Amino acid sequence: MRHVYVVTHTDLDGVGAAAAMLRVLGRKRNDGATVIYSEPYELHEVLSSLAEHVEKGDLVAVTDLGLNEEVKEESVEAVRELTTSATVEFYDHHVWGERDIRDLVRAGATLYIDRSTCATGVVVNYAARSRGMEPDDFLRELERAVCSADLWRWDHPLSPKLYRAVGAREERDEWRNRVLDKFVEGRLWDEELERRVESYVDEELRKVKKALETVYVAEKGGVRVAFALKEEGPPANGIIAAVLMARYNAHLAGIIRPNGGLSLRSRKVDVQRIAVKLGGGGHVRAAGARLKVPTLVSLVAHLYPKVLSWYGARRVLQLL
């Protein structure tokens, strides 16, 4: 194996999965390995750009990312091009359609999908064992801490802190890489992370308050939804979702961003089904998509931000 390219999601699980991959392979970022962060709707572009750089014997590992409904054909075609030179492996825990799996396998990729754990857990278990190795103690601890947050179990003492730590800086990729490097080196927590989380919490409280000023609540068929507009930066989508569901007794919480990015959380509704209809995907209880916001709605939102919450809620209500 020559160079390793890890394409991963932007959240804690994505960082954990990428770090686990590098640790399993004995590589470090900028030393035989490159890590690229992506959202599902950008995956086809990232994979296509890699096709210009990979060489014979390279590995492209895609972690914590499924195929976006609207660009899956482009993603499969990019994988087909990559496999003419490199090995392509997917490690994921989202809901996958049989056709998507079949198309990627036919394109030459190897898939490891396990919905019983988080993506970090998939890498820890399958990337190691497929290479004849057993995960070390640190990888097991990393799996427990990340899955505890990503699967909303919160049964690991560091999970709430790690969940915040990945989003604790505006220099997003720079800070994600800083956290990833610590994981690769075998450090789950240190004083720098503690300081970042302390400053993050102050900003989190301020922005949660601002998001609550944009809340729109509606109900259909006994399902109450609460939507809010989120600006760039902290807090994590899950934090706002938890506040919305608790404060408004909502069955489904939606977080919409100015660019149309939509995150859905629920303890009752299958939000993955809704996200797929909107061109996205995810889990049964946590999913996302990207809405095509009408120009008029975008213009009005500059004066009345709450209109984006209204628009997101109405689109989701149509699909219940």
Q: In this structure, what CATH number is given to the domain that contains residue 217?
A: 3.10.310.30
Q: Which two tokens stand for residue 79?
A: 């994988």
Q: Is residue 307 part of a domain?
A: yes
Looking at the fold, whether 27 and 163 belong to one and the same domain comes out as yes
Residues 114 and 11: their CA atoms lie apart, in Å, by 18
Looking at the fold, whether 38 and 180 belong to one and the same domain comes out as yes
- Provide the domain limits for residue 281: 209-317
φ/ψ of residue 217, rounded to 5: -115, 135
Q: Is 40 exposed, middle or buried (0-12, 13-18, 19+ CB in 10 A)?
A: buried
Predicted local distance difference test score (pLDDT) of residue 285: 86
Predicted local distance difference test score (pLDDT) of residue 121: 98
**Region 169-197 average pLDDT:** 88
Predicted local distance difference test score (pLDDT) of residue 284: 87
pLDDT of 233 strictly over 90 = no
Q: Is residue 202 part of a domain?
A: no
Looking at the fold, whether 103 and 181 belong to one and the same domain comes out as yes
Predicted local distance difference test score (pLDDT) of residue 183: 98
Q: What percent of the chain lies above the pLDDT cut of 70?
A: 98
* Digit-coded pLDDT (tens) for 300-319: 999 999 999 999 999 999 99
Determine the Cα angle at 48 with ends 89 and 50, to 5°: 65
Q: Is 66 left (phi over 0), alpha (psi -120 to 50) or beta?
A: beta
Q: How many domains does the chain have?
A: 2
More confident position, 234 or 190 = 190
Q: Is residue 201 part of a domain?
A: no
Residues 98 and 88: their CA atoms lie apart, in Å, by 18
More confident position, 199 or 129 = 129
Last residue of a domain, one of 135, 158, 189: 189
Q: Is residue 147 part of a domain?
A: yes
Looking at the fold, whether 97 and 225 belong to one and the same domain comes out as no
More confident position, 137 or 40 = 137
Predicted local distance difference test score (pLDDT) of residue 41: 87
**Contact (Cβ atoms closer than 8 angstroms) between residue 255 and residue 270:** no
Looking at the fold, whether 259 and 158 belong to one and the same domain comes out as no
pLDDT of 99 strictly over 60 = yes
Last residue of a domain, one of 138, 154, 189: 189
Looking at the fold, whether 101 and 165 belong to one and the same domain comes out as yes
Cβ-count burial 161-175 (b if 16+ within 10 Å, e if not): bbbbbbbbbeeeeeb
Looking at the fold, whether 48 and 169 belong to one and the same domain comes out as yes
Does the bond joining 157 to the residue before it have cis omega, within 30 degrees of 0?
Answer: no
* Digit-coded pLDDT (tens) for 117-126: 999 999 999 9
Q: What does DSSP say about strands 261-266 and 286-290: parallel, antiparallel, or unpaired? A: antiparallel
pLDDT of 170 strictly over 50 = no
Looking at the fold, whether 133 and 250 belong to one and the same domain comes out as no
Nearest Cα residue to 6 out of 67, 90, 66: 90
**Region 264-277 average pLDDT:** 92
Q: Report pTM.
A: 0.81
Predicted local distance difference test score (pLDDT) of residue 169: 45
Q: Is residue 117 part of a domain?
A: yes
**Region 2-26 average pLDDT:** 96
* Digit-coded pLDDT (tens) for 186-209: 999 999 999 888 887 888 888 899
Predicted local distance difference test score (pLDDT) of residue 171: 53
